[in-house]
Structure 1
Amino acid sequence: TGGDCHIYDNHHDQVTEQLRRDPRPYPELVLHQRNSIFEYTYDDIEISNYDPHPAIKAPVAV
């Protein structure tokens, strides 16, 4: 969301690469209905059609 967004000097190339990428469709999130929030397990959550771009490697800014 960019609430605490910052760019380090040694990350300009990676930011440029990110901004040049075309957005992809959102994945679909399916949450199986339970009677109580305390009944949910990881098996109740499904994510489909998730198609991320490859990771962008960046050096650690020190």
Structure 2
Amino acid sequence: MSSPTLWTDRQGAPIACVEKLKVLRENETELRQTLQDVFEDALLMGVDPDAMRRHLVDMVAALKELNA
């Protein structure tokens, strides 16, 4: 497993709030599992692994920011 993510705010300062870090870790764990499941399903259906990775990267790149 990789080292823990260092979450930072928009100014680059580390997020220190314990509750925020807990939610971020839980979300990351859920997302990793969902992405793995989606990836494995695609491969079982014959999708090229590199093509699926590119598709997932494109999906992340298309995420829109909330108006902060």
Determine if the TM-score, normalized by the shorter chain, exceeds 0.5: no
The structure whose residues are more often helix, as a share, is 2
| TM-score w.r.t. length of structure 2 | 0.27
| TM-score w.r.t. length of structure 1 | 0.28
Q: Which has the larger radius of gyration?
A: 1
Q: Relative contact order: is structure 1 or structure 2 higher (C-alpha 8 Å, sep ≥ 6)? A: 1
The structure whose residues are more often strand, as a share, is 1
